[in-house]
Amino acid sequence: MSHGRKTLIDYHIHTRFSEDSLATPEECVADAAERGLGGVIFTEHLEFPPPPDWPEPAYHPGRVLDARAYQEAVSAVRDRWAGTLDVGLGAELGLEPHNLKALGPYLDTYDPGFDIVIGSLHSIRGVLVQLPEYTDPLGPQAASREYFGSLYAGVREAVRMRAFDVLGHLDLVKRSPTFGVFRAGDHRELLREILVTIIREGLGVEVNTSGYRQPPGEPYPGLETLRLFRELGGEIVTVGSDSHRAATVGQESARALDFIRAAGFRRLALFRARHPTFVPI
């Protein structure tokens, strides 16, 4: 089926305001326009210094998101592209305990005015969960159980704080190139607890298309998990490329809409000022 521009909005993009990207907001918007997207939402990493015993290789001192500079950069891009593309301001909040503990003081200092906040778990004990260094010593089953257990704990605390709007790359643990085939049914009860928790609070799930270009060959989450979300009463779904380069902005967005329809959804959520509205797909 064909998809209108208004539904092709990328809700997960990183630029130089994230420690793992060199892209500029202008480059990302220009590529989005070339690919016929209706909009982009920047979602820079919002994370804080980890505990001293965490060997987190991705952390660099001072990487905490500079909210004011970020706001100014996105505002300038939004003004330049007004009338052509919608441009939004968001964040990807790490759901690790130290991030949630530091969030309150950060928000007391800054008023970012986010349009959306993605909640994601990236690491356990300082090891990135998508790496063989995490999954191989435990094995796929045990690694998944620990990952989903940690994610559930983070979701419960973040829900209490009303800290995020959609859950990002829900089954990221399957990304490791040595993981093998991920079977959602092996973790159905824990997945169900996570999904029921966010549904109860009126929160959603993102379909993260980066999985198409990574070892799983499918989005995060996979179809079985997304169908479970729908069966349990989930309504809010967004699409994001998780791009760290302008070249992948909007990649597989149209394909993701068909994937979402296959899970039983007939509308997509769009966010402004952390409030969803819906468009048919």
The per-residue pLDDT for 51 is 84
What is the pairing mode between strands 127-128 and 123-124? antiparallel
Higher pLDDT, 111 or 234: 234
- 54 pLDDT band, cuts 50/70/90, is confident
The Cα 9–Cα 39 span in angstroms is 5
Residues of the chain with pLDDT > 90, as a percent, come to 89
276: cis peptide before it, omega within 30°?
Answer: no
**Type of residue numbered 92:** E
Q: Give the pLDDT confidence of 130-149 residue by residue, as tens digits.
A: 999 999 999 999 999 999 99
b/e per residue, 25-37, with b = 16+ CB within 10 A?
Answer: bebbbbbbbeeeb
- 12 pLDDT band, cuts 50/70/90, is very high
- 57 pLDDT band, cuts 50/70/90, is low
- 39 pLDDT band, cuts 50/70/90, is very high
Q: Give the pLDDT confidence of 157-199 residue by residue, as tens digits.
A: 999 999 999 999 999 999 999 999 999 999 999 999 999 999 9
Helices (H) and strands (E) in the chain, counts: 8, 11
Q: Is the dihedral of CA 132, 12, 21, 60 positive or negative?
A: negative
Reply yes or no on whether the pLDDT at 62 is more than 80.
no
| 6-34: average pLDDT | 94
The per-residue pLDDT for 52 is 82
Reply yes or no on whether the pLDDT at 9 is more than 80.
yes
Query: Mean pLDDT across the chain, nearest whole number?
Result: 94
Residue 254 in 3-state DSSP? Answer: helix
- Long-range own/partner contacts, residues 255-263 (CB < 8 A, 24 or more apart): 255/209, 255/212, 256/207, 256/209, 256/219, 257/3, 257/7, 257/8, 257/281, 258/1, 259/207, 259/219, 259/223, 259/226, 260/207, 260/226, 262/223, 263/223, 263/226, 263/227, 263/229, 263/230
Q: Give the pLDDT confidence of 237-259 residue by residue, as tens digits.
A: 999 999 999 999 999 999 999 99
Which pTM does this prediction carry? Answer: 0.95
| Domain at 5-280: CATH architecture | Alpha-Beta Barrel (3.20)
| 10-38: average pLDDT | 96
